[in-house]
């Protein structure tokens, strides 16, 4: 399995970084995009790496926020064959509040009836290589979830969030922002997980606020209970990552432009 980070917050090489997520995943059976970043950046960075987006056969949008699905219109303009898997309510109204200012952060609702989109409910098996997982439990939820809303001023319950398990030589779990909490997600997946890749939502990039040390210490101790390797990025934040990775060899950072072969 080859995994390329096309969009992420922090620069690693000549790719352009930006707040968002897009991973290109190539297996023996599939060419996959997990998330599409905030705009057309995934496509421009893919071109720099000679990745042909028109050959992608499967897209997973982890949840209904623009930094993960904002590139959908661009994708549809260059690929008219791939199936795009989202949870049933991914195109609902989603907002954030910053200093009492409400801002829409959802997906482009003009695209929700596109015939390439496949709506799923909860866990879903695509084939013997790919499966989608949802979580319900509430261990160490992110303190920054409290700034995220849905519909008419309701706190977001993240029922639109899903994670992707890819099974080949190793089992790799892709988790987007892990709004449900990465430990809840791992516990919900009824398969072995060797590697987890995705954000932990431990910062607010607009306000430049980070999870407090007491929370991070508890989080770090919980990480050590798992024998898989964690590659984090995006909404984790470099400062929390630095704290979590001190004296902890099972967590690494997946920078924009990095690649893995597993």
The mean predicted confidence, pLDDT, of the chain is 96
pLDDT at 219 over 90: yes
Torsion-angle region of 49 (φ positive above 0: left; ψ -120 to 50: alpha; else: beta): alpha
Contact 202, 144 (CB under 8 A): yes
Per-residue pLDDT tens digits for 163-204: 999 999 999 999 999 999 999 999 999 999 999 999 999 998
Contact at 8 Å (CB) between 161 and 176? yes
Looking at the chain, the number of H-run helices and the number of E-run strands are: 6, 20
> What pLDDT score was predicted for residue 139?
79
d(CA 145, CA 135): 15
Q: Are 228 and 194 in contact (CB under 8 A)?
A: yes
Average pLDDT over residues 72-93: 98
What number is the average pLDDT over the span 139-166?
92
CA-closest candidate to residue 91, choices 30, 15, 151? 151
Query: How far is Cα 24 from Cα 52, in angstroms, rounded to an integer?
Result: 11
* pLDDT above 90 (res 141): no
pLDDT at 63: 98
* pLDDT class of 119 with cuts at 50, 70, 90: very high
Instruction: Retrieve residue 74's tokens.
Output: 């661009």
Token representation of residue 238: 């470099």
Q: What is the mean predicted confidence (pLDDT) over 216-233?
A: 96
Return the structure tokens found at 48. Answer: 């720099």
Encoded tokens for 168: 């080949």
User: pLDDT at residue 81 above 90?
Assistant: yes
Count of beta carbons in the 10 Å neighbourhood of residue 179: 27
CATH of 2-261 among 3.60.15.10, 3.40.50.150, 3.40.50.720, 1.10.287.180 = 3.60.15.10
Return the structure tokens found at 111.
């695209």
Query: Is there a contact between 50 and 25 (Cβ–Cβ < 8 Å)?
Result: no
């Amino acid at each position: 399995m080859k995994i390329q980070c096309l969009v992420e917050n922090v620069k690693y090489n000549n790719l352009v970084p930006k707040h968002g997520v897009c991973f290109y995943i190539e297996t023996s059976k599939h060419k996959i995009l997990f998330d599409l970043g905030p705009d057309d950046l995934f496509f421009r960075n893919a071109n720099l790496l000679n990745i042909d987006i028109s050959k992608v056969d499967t897209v997973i949008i982890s949840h209904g926020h623009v930094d993960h699905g904002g590139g959908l219109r661009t994708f549809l303009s260059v690929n008219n064959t791939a199936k795009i898997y989202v949870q049933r309510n991914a195109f609902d109204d989603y907002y954030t509040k910053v200093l009492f200012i409400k801002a829409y952060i959802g997906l482009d609702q003009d695209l929700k009836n596109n015939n390439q989109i496949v709506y799923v409910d909860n866990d879903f098996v695509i084939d013997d290589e790919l499966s989608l997982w949802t979580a319900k439990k509430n261990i160490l939820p992110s303190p920054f979830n409290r700034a995220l809303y849905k519909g008419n001023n309701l706190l977001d319950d993240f029922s639109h969030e899903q994670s992707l398990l890819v099974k080949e030589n190793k089992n790799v779990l892709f988790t987007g922002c892990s709004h449900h909490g990465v430990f809840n997600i791992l516990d919900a997946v009824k398969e072995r997980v060797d590697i987890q890749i995705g954000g932990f939502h431990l910062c607010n990039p607009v306000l430049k606020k980070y999870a407090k040390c007491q929370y991070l210490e508890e989080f770090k101790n919980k990480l050590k209970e798992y024998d898989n390797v964690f590659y984090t990025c995006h909404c984790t934040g470099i400062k929390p990552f630095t704290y979590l990775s001190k004296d902890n060899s099972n967590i690494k950072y997946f920078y924009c432009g990095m690649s893995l072969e597993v």
